[in-house]
Amino acid sequence: IYTNSYELDISIENLNTSEFYRLKIGIGRPKTKSESISKYVLNKFDEKQKNIIQKVIDQATDAIMSYIYNDINYVINNFNKKG
């Protein structure tokens, strides 16, 4: 299994399995088609984005903590939401 992430590939290799849960966070898309996705991804966050990412980090932390005490289906049903 090869992914877009070298670090994930190394983790899979070291664990000798790809059977583990992953927390994925979407980044959206550039507002214009003329802006490249790589430039969009590598740009620094503006102030509005910094506020959004802090909320996302808080929600991700809550999801991880929830997984410690609940099964994965509970976590998916309660945290896997767009928007």
- Prediction pTM value: 0.66
DSSP 8-state class, residue 44: P
In single-letter form, the type of residue at position 16 comes to N
> Helices then strands (H, E): number in the chain?
4, 0
63 is written with which tokens? 């999801």
Per-residue pLDDT in tens (0 to 9) along the chain, 83 residues: 555 688 888 888 999 999 988 888 877 888 888 888 888 888 888 898 899 989 999 999 999 999 999 999 999 999 887 65
